[in-house]
């Protein structure tokens, strides 16, 4: 007859110590099986961020450039993953039935294909911003998310940046009073010349949609409503035909009018000298103003910045964004940067683009007809 482990104090203590370890092993969730579609500059960067997320197994990577795909597989393999490589995302989705979540980081004009295919296959989807290239494509993706089994998270990762998240919590908690105005600018050097599609407005949607949608998303989030109308102006003043065939603007300004007489102004310049201007996102209220990227605010009619408490300080918003995606996928939880918010912010950027390109005032009603 075997000895009862509880019959002696030593046996009891040994069992008591072992039991929690056994429970922890049993309760540990299985690794989330993840695939990537598009591993160029942005996709490759997101892949590296995902390698730092706990409980993830990258089992497939799809890319149309052989060398880029090879490098991505090597990076993932060096971190202990064993991804299978594909050149066709449809074949990958069809063959790799055990994929649970897919990260899509392809050029803007190709967002819709893999997004719809992944959602229809029941996968969780993280697709880079903006949602799509046109209002019609956005509406198609939005409809697909409403009947999808998996979650949809957009790559508006600034929502997960520690400083901006803390500042937005402060704004939404009434810290600066009633929101009255927002002002931002992205004044930098030009985009990487090794990505030709970025300079083709037919493929990228132009800079206000492909790039500035990040900051526009923050302002729409702060105000909590879509704009009523937009007006703006822009063009190519310095980099004409640089790189050859360029059709995207190298400078523009846009003004949005929101309900309750709230306005947002935004300017974008690609020939700003290094260190001269940079990037700013500021929201002004009835009791003060806050600098979102710095997580500091100033009371109205008083001097001196006040630093906000910032959880996760020092962590990258990109990492926190993909980590949140995995957490949301596990819990089937609606993301902070979900389909509804992605649609609103993408259409707002497109609204500004339309106003600039067509040199007229464009209304929100025009954007939601799609």
pLDDT in tens, 289-334: 999 999 999 999 999 999 999 999 999 999 999 999 999 999 999 9
pLDDT digits (tens, 9 = 90+) for 276-289: 999 999 999 999 99
| Pairwise CA distance, residues 250 & 240, whole Å | 9
Closest listed residue to residue 279, CA positions, set 215, 345, 229: 215
Mean pLDDT value of segment 126-146: 97
Asked if 58 and 72 touch (Cβ cutoff 8 Å), the reply is no
> Assign residue 314 a region: left if phi > 0, alpha if psi is -120 to 50, beta otherwise?
left
Cβ neighbours for 110, distance < 8 A, ≥ 6 positions apart: 38
Give the model's pLDDT for residue 369.
Answer: 83
Asked if 350 and 205 touch (Cβ cutoff 8 Å), the reply is yes
Mean pLDDT value of segment 45-62: 98
Closest listed residue to residue 48, CA positions, set 87, 70, 74, 29: 74
| Alpha helix ranges (H) inside 128-265 | 135-147, 162-172, 201-204, 207-210, 213-223
Cis peptide before 34 (omega within 30 of 0): no
Q: Which of the four pLDDT bands, split at 50, 70 and 90, describes residue 2?
A: very low
Q: Which of the four pLDDT bands, split at 50, 70 and 90, describes residue 20?
A: low
SS3 call for 91: helix
End-to-end CA distance of the chain, in Å? 76
Instruction: Say if residue 216's pLDDT is above 60.
Output: yes
What does the block give as tokens for 213? 């949608």
Asked if 341 and 221 touch (Cβ cutoff 8 Å), the reply is yes
Asked if 179 and 285 touch (Cβ cutoff 8 Å), the reply is yes
| Count of helix runs (H) and strand runs (E) in the chain | 13, 15
pLDDT digits (tens, 9 = 90+) for 55-67: 999 999 999 999 9
- What fold does the segment set 159-313+339-367 form as a domain? Dihydrodipicolinate Reductase; domain 2 (3.30.360)
Asked if 322 and 315 touch (Cβ cutoff 8 Å), the reply is no
Give the model's pLDDT for residue 130.
Answer: 98
DSSP 290: E
Instruction: Say if residue 24's pLDDT is above 80.
Output: no
Instruction: Say if residue 25's pLDDT is above 80.
Output: no
SS3 call for 21: helix
- Residue 34, beta-bridge partner list: 58, 101
DSSP 30: P
Closest listed residue to residue 330, CA positions, set 150, 159, 128: 150
Q: The dihedral of CA 278, 259, 134, 94: what is its sign?
A: positive
Question: What are the E-state strand segments in 18-156?
Answer: 32-37, 56-62, 84-86, 101-104, 124-127, 152-154
Asked if 177 and 258 touch (Cβ cutoff 8 Å), the reply is no
Burial of 205 from C-beta contacts in 10 A (0-12 / 13-18 / 19+): buried
Tell me the whole-structure pTM to 2 decimals. Answer: 0.91
């Amino acid at each position: 007859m075997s000895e009862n482990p509880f019959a002696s104090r030593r046996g009891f203590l040994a069992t008591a110590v072992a039991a929690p370890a056994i429970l922890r092993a049993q309760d540990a969730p299985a690794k989330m099986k993840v695939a990537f579609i598009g591993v160029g500059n942005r996709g490759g960067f997101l892949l590296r961020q995902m390698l730092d997320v706990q409980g993830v197994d990258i089992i497939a990577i799809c890319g149309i450039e052989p060398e880029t795909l090879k490098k991505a597989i090597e990076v993932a393999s060096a971190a202990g993953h064993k991804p299978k490589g594909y050149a066709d995302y449809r074949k990958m989705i069809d063959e790799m039935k055990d994929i649970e979540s897919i990260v899509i980081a392809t050029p803007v004009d190709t967002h819709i294909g893999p997004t719809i295919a992944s959602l229809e296959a029941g996968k969780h989807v993280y697709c880079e911003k903006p949602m799509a290239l046109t209002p019609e494509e956005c509406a198609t993706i939005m409809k697909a998310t409403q009947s999808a089994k998996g979650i949809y998270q957009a790559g508006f990762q600034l929502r997960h940046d520690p400083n901006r998240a803390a500042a937005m919590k402060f704004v939404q908690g009434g810290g600066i009073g009633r929101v009255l105005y927002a002002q931002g600018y992205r004044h930098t050097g030009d985009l990487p010349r090794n990505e030709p599609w970025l300079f083709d407005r037919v493929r990228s949607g132009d800079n206000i949609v492909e790039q500035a949608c990040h900051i526009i998303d923050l302002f729409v989030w702060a105000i909590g409503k879509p704009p009523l109308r937009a007006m703006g102006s822009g063009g190519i003043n310095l980099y004409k035909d640089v790189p050859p065939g360029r059709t995207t603007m190298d400078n523009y300004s846009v003004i949005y009018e929101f309900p309750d007489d709230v306005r947002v102004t935004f300017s974008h310049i690609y020939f700003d000298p290094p260190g001269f201007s940079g990037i700013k996102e500021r929201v002004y209220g009835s009791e003060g103003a806050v600098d979102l990227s710095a997580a500091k605010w100033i009371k109205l009619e008083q001097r001196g910045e006040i630093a906000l408490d910032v959880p996760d300080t020092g962590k990258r918003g990109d990492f926190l964004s993909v980590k949140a995606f995995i957490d949301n996928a596990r819990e089937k939880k609606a993301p902070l940067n979900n389909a509804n918010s992605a649609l609103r912010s993408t259409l707002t950027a497109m609204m500004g683009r339309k106003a600039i390109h067509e040199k007229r005032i464009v209304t929100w009603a025009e954007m939601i007809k799609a």
